[in-house]
Amino acid sequence: MTSILLLLLFIFICIFLNDYVHCQRPPVVNVGVVFSFDSVIGRAAKVAMEAAAADVNADPSILNGTQLKLIMADTNCSVFMGSIEVFQVIEKEVVTIIGPQSSGIAHMISSIANGLQLPLISFAATDPTLSALQYPFFIRSTQSDNCQMEAMADLIGYYGWREVIAVYVDDEYGRNGISALHGTLAEKMSKISYKVAFPAGADLDQITDLLNKSKSIGPRVYIVHVSPDTGLAIFSIAQHLQMMTRDYVWFATDWLSATLDSLSVVNQTSVLPQGVVGLRQHIPQSWRQKAFVSRWRELYKKGLVSSGLNAYGLYAYDTVWAVAHSIDAFLHEQRNITFSFNKKLHVLNATELQLEKLKTFDGGTFLLVKLLQTNFTGLTGAVKFDTLGNLIGGGYEIINVDKAAVHIIGYWSNYSGLSVVPPETSKWGENSHFHSDQKLKNVTWPGQKTEKPQGWVIANSGRPLRIGVPKRVSFVEFVTEKKGSHKVEGYCIDVFNAARELMPYEVPYRFVAFGDGHSNPNYNELVRMVAEDVIDGAVGDISIVTNRTKIADFTQPYISTGLVIVAPIKKSSAWVFLRPFTVEMWCTTLAFFVLLGMVIWILERRVNEDFQGPLRRQLMNMFLFSFSTPFKAKQEVLSVLGRMVMMVWLFSLMVIISSYKASLTSFLTVQQLSLPITGIESLIASRWRIGYQVGSFVGSYLKDSCKIPSSRLVSLGTPEEYERALRLGPSNGGVAAIVDELPYMELFLSKQTDFGIVGQTFSRNGWGFVFQRGSPLPVDMSTAILRLSESGKLQEIHDKWFCKLGCSIQGRYQSDPNHLHLSSFWGLYLLCGVLVGTVFLVFIIQMVRQFVQYKWKQRKNSSHASEPSTARYCQVIYNFFEFIDEKEEAIKKMFKQCDNPEPQAS
């Protein structure tokens, strides 16, 4: 019984001691730090991390007495040495690793950290491929190059450059950063046209040779993405190669600001690359004033530290604090720091490598969670991470080196884009794809140039541009090569030469004729040769159509075109004078002539002798008066109401006659079709054969878009073939119509009067010059073409070639003639009818009133007995019409007799 009690007491004591040990915080926590001591980033980071560890250990509010110990190892900028050093650090039972600064070393160490479950947090590895998806224990406490390259792409897009040259070190940092830039530039319709990649550790001669080769490439916009330790040498070499002049543009990623911030003021003045635009990670000014920054500055002034404080030093300082906060949260939840042997390493039995010293951190996963939950305000601002282990941020300053100083010309953030206003830190991490009001301050470019450089020149490759021109055999006024002289001329060539003279740079070129000289060449093949780099561009009557724009770039159209239909015509008929009015219009107009004649006759016959006399004479005068109104300068209308009717009718006649004259003129001058073709719809619906110009896109357009069978399409090469086919007609082996572009048809119809254009222009497009995809020449040439158009020079060139025989095109036909329909004049007729009806109603009211007055006075003077009612009403009506038929003088006499009746005989 006693032994059992002693056993229970022993178990209780063990449990108690185990809980006590479990709850006891360790006196020291080891944190590994792996980076290159002797580097621009390392010199700043070493001092910053040592100061951060001292500040953490001196702060009683964190770690609660546990000391944070940094175990540092120098990687010497080598993946091999870095791997060895990290193994030696891991043997010290570290709970996490800070670093490295090199992206290449970070890839290796991340794999080790994954196997041993050690959180790895880097303050300088910006390689975007370092992702938690591949390396779950990797955390980045600085900005990824994805963010930086997005800012760089926005800069390139802001200034409108389409092609750039990338200069980078050929390692994971350089390759993956430039790969991210390539993707973001593609979204801005730009591209990296050439890459200057040099190996890590390349000497100056290698870099010089590579940069010198890039001078033969057309683009002059360089983006330098290298390490801070070697970057300034590139600008020194570029200066020696005369590549820092007015024609060049230089951008640098944030390595430049890290380098410049690390130098003393004296050294900065001597090595500053003038005119370079770069990026610098945005650190709000309020956080730059903290005690640590002031302490660093004092040490730097006294020469106690060898480097100025750059952004990576600030990130390194905040990284130590982030680790301290996460370890404090880890220990606060009573977690022991324990390690265990890795079974996979234990079974290897490789005692010579001493792999048993590499232990797995049991709480690594939980510490990783605490690191990802970090949220505090450090020197760089809010320190917190997203679910993929990337620092939430995204702000950059746009800097410009000018006159031995670094100037901030703007800011960039992933939510606001480019702006002259610093980004709001509360919105960091919010992405927006639509940035409005993009703006930067003025920039001083290389060579002290304030105007934006062109950024592109003709490639200095020892040969001029190869410009293909179609060797036409018909419509040679547009472009062709003269036989025997190899001289190219035509309207299109003159436009090209005039635009080239307005280019901001010299464009050396030579024309390359395309075609066999026997038939017009295939223009799709010409554009394909440009796309495949057989030639550099093409000039001529080349239509801008969809399938061509997919493989090459076109300039602004220098002439508007479209497809038209040309068909045979015949002269107008003898009854063409009836065509301006429709049947309804003629009937309505004639009805109004008769109506107005009747109204005027009724209104005028009491006062106008021309409307009095026998009935036959009155009817004849009535009709003659109505139909002679348009031709008589003065009409004999005496009554006031009659004059009002005439005023309204003459106004209506003026409108109707003017419209009739205009329409009749059109019918007399426009030719009529010999076939019932009114437009493309009726042409498609018919079964007649259709002609088109050989070598043009019209044939494929009619087959693919209009669904016309190939059996109905006939390719024609010359205007003579056009004429012959149209005269033969579809029934004699010819064609019913020809579909071609408007400029060709205008030239054809200027020499032909028996054919005309049918319907309206369809499939509108234009002619432009063709260049390779991505070339800046289309943009600059388009600007020159617009200047030609605005100055009137473009019209002068057109008149020079096509107005030798007069610019008016004969034989043009509009298949939709302007018939005058009743619907176009119903308002006029309605107005005229209402006014005439109103005047007639007023006349009737006056007559009724006079008749009533006359009868009242007559009855007053009469003593006759009243007649039966039926006979009386009929008599009244008869008397009323008889009263109206009386002359005005007779009515006045009748009223006078009623007023002064004669005395009756007794």
Q: Is the pLDDT of residue 345 over 70?
A: no
Where is pLDDT greater, at 493 or 687? 493
Q: Per-residue pLDDT for 654 more than 70?
A: yes
pLDDT tens readout for residues 480-538: 888 777 789 999 999 999 999 988 777 888 999 998 888 899 999 999 999 998 999 99
First and final C-alpha spacing in the chain: 179
> Which runs of E-coded beta strand occur in 713-826?
713-716, 737-741, 755-767, 770-771
User: In this structure, which amino acid lies at residue 542?
Assistant: I
Q: What does the pLDDT read at residue 853?
A: 64
For residue 398, how far is the Cα from the chain centroid? 25
β-partners of residue 223 are 166, 251
Is the model's pLDDT at 594 over the cut of 50?
yes
Of the candidates 64, 714, 691, which has an alpha carbon nearest to the alpha carbon of residue 324? 64
- Supply the mean pLDDT for the chain: 80
d(CA 281, CA 257): 8
pLDDT at 12: 53
* Concatenated DSSP letters of 829-850: HHHHHHHHHHHHHHHHHHHHHH
Question: pLDDT-derived band of residue 278, with 50, 70 and 90 as boundaries?
Answer: very high
Buried b / exposed e over 227-264, threshold 16 CB at 10 Å, is bbbbbbbbbebbeeeebbbebbbbbbbbbbbbbbbbbe
At 858, the pLDDT band (50, 70, 90 cuts) reads low
* pLDDT surpassing 50 at residue 768: yes
Question: Number of H helices and number of E strands within the chain?
Answer: 30, 30
Question: Residue 534: what are its φ and ψ, rounded to 5°?
Answer: -70, -40
Q: Residue 169 above 90 pLDDT?
A: yes
- Cα gap 487→878, rounded to integer Å: 98
Q: How far apart are CA 155 and CA 837, in angstroms?
A: 76
What pLDDT band is residue 98 in, cutting at 50, 70 and 90?
very high
What does the pLDDT read at residue 861?
A: 61
Output the pLDDT for position 415.
Answer: 78
Lowest mean pLDDT among 22-36, 93-107, 211-225, 492-506: 22-36
- pLDDT of res. 813: 41
Measured between alpha carbons, how far is 77 from 37 in angstroms, rounded to an integer?
Answer: 9
Expressed in percent and rounded to 5, the helix, strand and coil fractions of the chain are 45, 15, 35
Residues 513-536 as b/e (b if ≥16 CB within 10 A, e otherwise) read bbbeeebbbbbbebbebbbeeebb
Q: Which position has the higher pLDDT, 632 or 58?
A: 58
Question: How far are the Cα atoms of 209, 430, 442 from residue 237, in angstroms, in the given order?
Answer: 10, 40, 27
Q: What is the pLDDT of residue 503?
A: 84
At residue 22, does pLDDT exceed 50? no
Over residues 809-850, the pLDDT tens digits come to 434 444 444 455 556 566 666 777 777 777 767 767 766 766
What per-residue confidence (pLDDT) applies to 752? 82
What own/partner pairs with CB < 8 Å and gap ≥ 24 does 608-613 have? 608/636, 608/637, 608/638, 608/639, 608/642, 610/636, 612/887
Average pLDDT over residues 583-597: 74
Tokens of 768: 């432009």
Instruction: Find which of 80-84, 507-511, 661-665, 807-811 is predicted with most confidence, using mean pLDDT.
Output: 507-511
Q: How far apart are CA 861 and CA 853, in angstroms?
A: 13
Q: Tell me the C-alpha to C-alpha distance, in Å, between residue 735 and each of 558, 701, 707, 715.
A: 31, 18, 18, 10
Reading the block at residue 326, the tokens are: 């996460």
Q: What CA–CA distance (Å, rounded) separates 417 from 686?
A: 58
pLDDT band at 238 (very low <50, low <70, confident <90, very high): very high
SS (H, E, C) 559-589: EEEEEEEEEEEECCCCCHHHCCECHHHHHHH
Q: What is the mean pLDDT of residues 178-202?
A: 89
pLDDT at 438 over 70: yes
pLDDT of residue 809: 42
pLDDT of 695-734, one tens digit each? 888 998 899 888 899 999 999 989 999 999 998 988 888 9
Beta strands in 253-311 (DSSP E): 277-281
What pLDDT does residue 714 have? 93
pLDDT at 395: 85
**Model pTM above 0.85:** no
DSSP structure string for 480-519: EEPTTT--EESHHHHHHHHHHHTSSS---EEEEEES-SSS
* Percent of the chain surpassing pLDDT 70: 73
**Tens of pLDDT, residues 538-555:** 999 999 998 999 999 999
CB atoms within 10 A of CB 418: 21
150: its two tokens: 């997005």
What integer is the mean pLDDT of 89-112?
A: 89
**681 or 278, higher pLDDT:** 278
